[in-house]
Structure 1
């Protein structure tokens, strides 16, 4: 016969066992552990709906060339998710994790999420399950997540002050009602913290994502990190905002990589920080550094929800490029999909060839990072000279950002430098247009004095 004390002791023992098992799974989880290059994950896009509206987000279902959270090229039913998982599992031997990261919010689509995880668990009992959520419905589904065997949960918490939250969230849809301003932000925050604290108390490994928004919450992040640590979070991931056309914050200035890493170092005193986040798509497949989702694009999915404003359905090119000359470009990209990396952080360039409207990848070229320090990218003559020699046959360099000194060195070698955030193919087409424009001589109007 169990007494109240015995029952509490039994529950405590079960929680400790679950915690030990889940923490051990960190080793094979590319996001939570320190082995992101060894193990692969698969995101299954089974959650289309979202229950909050963030001012930095504009969810669209796109073609293959955009890489950011909230983006996928197609939706899967639970049965299709299982079919695709089987295909990926047979090809990618180091696949250890199945995650649900949208494209909406996992808990706003709980029936689909539950069914998907149940089907995959039956087929592959050893697979680690993780899930990302804004946390609004976390108190309602926390116990069911535990029962489903979800061992890792990521909650996005951008503010622990409702006044700041009101600047970030346009609308919160909660239990059939829409809330705005501080009222909506407070409901969201209360549920986020309650759900996070409960999951942590049950041995679930929790990570908190925070988007660093310049002039909005950048001076508030230390407070956020301290609060989520109190709730039991295992680690936090402070992320740079990716500008998204059509969002309210599309013109908000970005925090620099220096500012971002300074904030991470400051918060590292309190809690483990994630430095290797790639801000992945909702249908990402592979290791964090090598996304293979395009290789499995047609498996399981019966069709994309939308295809880049209908271009794919018409078999039209993603970007209309000029048919002029032939150019070679060095691309700085951490994803291999977008122009999403600072020149100073590049350790390999993607070399693309543009030939009269056709665009193709030639090769990758390794270089030593120009900027090695976290706090400052100090000019280093020897390194920039080596980088220039590595790409001196290129007509242009396309980067997210670049410092003045490397820009001057490259342009002195007649290598045009272009800063932009876009998919690689679109960026190459735009860069080719720029070079075509520069190549055309200016035609001056004829005046009477010229005759």
Structure 2
């Protein structure tokens, strides 16, 4: 029995007409980004993993992380008030495919409320081959993949490291793994009729002369269009001192690459919780008045804050949402301190622990040494040393966070 795929493809093409990112004349339509994906499996040299900034507009920032149920509830509120809403997108603040269960449930819940809404997601592509069939089954019609190099050597300069199947890779090896997965995933979903956009961060001195080659390669693999965007030099990142690409340089590159493939000229590099049209982000109207936080706790018992940072083999993770404290999960870590001599020799283990709790605003411990406290501070994670019952300690911490 043959399957007629013409009808689904026509439906996707129709949806593209009302997708503001894929169609420059669709500016009257609104989109909603749901920030349900905090974890990431790739560390880019231009990316900051702090996403609690309410006043900054760039990819990867959000005022809160939502559960799937909260995403559905917020969608219903937005849908009621934003009549031109046509698209729900998942663009982080981490990578959707590193948080696939949360992403899947969010889409399923929203689809129950609004079956005709268009779904899209943005990914680094590392896990795309693993979830491509699931993406198709979920009815996601548009996928954006960020591909910053089609040469593993160049990719190795863009990525600090990748975490692939539980193991970290860096340099050219990381560039090779992620490139193979990006391109094979792009080919597959394109063959399935999904409209694919490729984002390319143009980084002076790293991949700027390489961009046309990227465009040609992704065209071969089925990309519908590319979106060349400028590097945003963010303090605290490896590329913080690199020069930004100006608008003239950017548009000249887009025009050059337009000869090979359709280009996006109207990108606004949106937040992970953006709502509204591309020209008018109204997400502030839908934010809760209270700040939301994620807090890691070092505890022997799960009752009190009673354990030294260096002795922790697991952290209890709590979310503070609208002032309510909710236990989220336990995260295992390899404790780095088994005695004075070992602590001195195992300082590199601190970095692994920080990666495990990097989406947290603060960590509560009984005590902590100078080195972990210093590294946590540099990573943007506040550390509070105290002995207290967990909920009481979190309440005190939230007050301190809100007052500083």
TM-score surpassing 0.5? Answer: yes
Q: Measure how far apart 1:257 and its partner are.
A: 1.1
1:78 lines up with 2:96 in the alignment? no
* Partner in structure 2 of residue 114 of structure 1: 104
Matches within 5 A, 1:225-236: 225-236=215-226
Matches within 5 A, 1:271-290: 271-290=261-280
From 184, 193, 197, give the equivalent of 1:203. Answer: 193
Q: What secondary structure is seen at the aligned counterpart in 2 of 1:184? A: helix
Once structures 1 and 2 are overlaid, which stretch shifts more, 27-36 or 286-295?
27-36
1:23 lines up with 2:13 in the alignment? yes
Q: Which has the larger radius of gyration?
A: 1
User: What do residues 243-291 of structure 1 show as CA deviations (whole Å, max 9, x unaligned)?
Assistant: 1111000000111211110000000001110011000000001101111
Change (3 A) 1:252 1:259: same
Q: What secondary structure is seen at the aligned counterpart in 1 of 2:216? A: helix
> How many angstroms apart in 2 are the aligned matches of 1:141 and 1:120?
20
Q: Measure how far apart 1:61 and its partner are.
A: 1.9
User: What do residues 415-441 of structure 1 show as CA deviations (whole Å, max 9, x unaligned)?
Assistant: xxxxxxxxxxxxxxxxxxxxxxxxxxx
Change (3 A) 1:273 1:57: same
> How many angstroms apart in 2 are the aligned matches of 1:282 and 1:63?
11
* Partner in structure 2 of residue 323 of structure 1: none
Change (3 A) 1:118 1:299: farther
Q: What secondary structure is seen at the aligned counterpart in 2 of 1:172? A: strand
The answer as to whether partners of 2:149 and 2:214 remain within 8 angstroms in 1 is: yes
The answer as to whether partners of 1:44 and 1:282 remain within 8 angstroms in 2 is: yes
Gaps of 5+ in 2: 293-320, 324-359, 363-379, 383-396
The answer as to whether partners of 1:74 and 1:306 remain within 8 angstroms in 2 is: no
Q: What secondary structure is seen at the aligned counterpart in 2 of 1:210? A: strand
User: What do residues 394-420 of structure 1 show as CA deviations (whole Å, max 9, x unaligned)?
Assistant: xxxxxxxxxxxxxxxxxxxxxxxxxxx
The answer as to whether partners of 2:196 and 2:223 remain within 8 angstroms in 1 is: yes
Q: Measure how far apart 1:303 and its partner are.
A: 4.5
> How many angstroms apart in 2 are the aligned matches of 1:146 and 1:96?
19
From 202, 205, 212, give the equivalent of 1:222. Answer: 212
Change (3 A) 1:85 1:262: same
Gaps of 5+ in 1: 1-6, 319-451
* Partner in structure 1 of residue 127 of structure 2: 137
From 72, 94, 106, give the equivalent of 1:104. Answer: 94
The answer as to whether partners of 1:84 and 1:299 remain within 8 angstroms in 2 is: no
> How many angstroms apart in 1 are the aligned matches of 2:381 and 2:283?
21
Change (3 A) 1:63 1:53: closer
The answer as to whether partners of 1:29 and 1:35 remain within 8 angstroms in 2 is: no
Q: What secondary structure is seen at the aligned counterpart in 1 of 2:252? A: helix
Q: How many residues align?
A: 308
The answer as to whether partners of 1:27 and 1:34 remain within 8 angstroms in 2 is: no
Q: Measure how far apart 1:21 and its partner are.
A: 1.1
Q: Measure how far apart 1:59 and its partner are.
A: 1.6
The answer as to whether partners of 2:149 and 2:210 remain within 8 angstroms in 1 is: yes
Matches within 5 A, 1:306-345: 306=361, 313=399
Change (3 A) 1:151 1:219: same
Change (3 A) 1:176 1:205: same
From 143, 152, 163, give the equivalent of 1:173. Answer: 163
> How many angstroms apart in 1 are the aligned matches of 2:88 and 2:198?
18
From 184, 192, 206, give the equivalent of 1:194. Answer: 184
> How many angstroms apart in 2 are the aligned matches of 1:143 and 1:299?
39
> How many angstroms apart in 2 are the aligned matches of 1:309 and 1:38?
39
Matches within 5 A, 1:339-354: none
> How many angstroms apart in 1 are the aligned matches of 2:210 and 2:89?
29
User: What do residues 380-406 of structure 1 show as CA deviations (whole Å, max 9, x unaligned)?
Assistant: xxxxxxxxxxxxxxxxxxxxxxxxxxx
* Partner in structure 2 of residue 338 of structure 1: none
* Partner in structure 2 of residue 265 of structure 1: 255
Q: What secondary structure is seen at the aligned counterpart in 2 of 1:206? A: strand
Q: Measure how far apart 1:205 and its partner are.
A: 0.3
TM-score by length of 1: 0.66
The answer as to whether partners of 1:240 and 1:260 remain within 8 angstroms in 2 is: yes
1:256 lines up with 2:246 in the alignment? yes
Once structures 1 and 2 are overlaid, which stretch shifts more, 187-196 or 64-73?
64-73
Q: Measure how far apart 1:20 and its partner are.
A: 1.5
* Partner in structure 2 of residue 242 of structure 1: 232
* Partner in structure 2 of residue 355 of structure 1: none
| C-alpha RMSD over aligned residues | 2.1
User: What do residues 42-73 of structure 1 show as CA deviations (whole Å, max 9, x unaligned)?
Assistant: 00000000001100111212232011111111
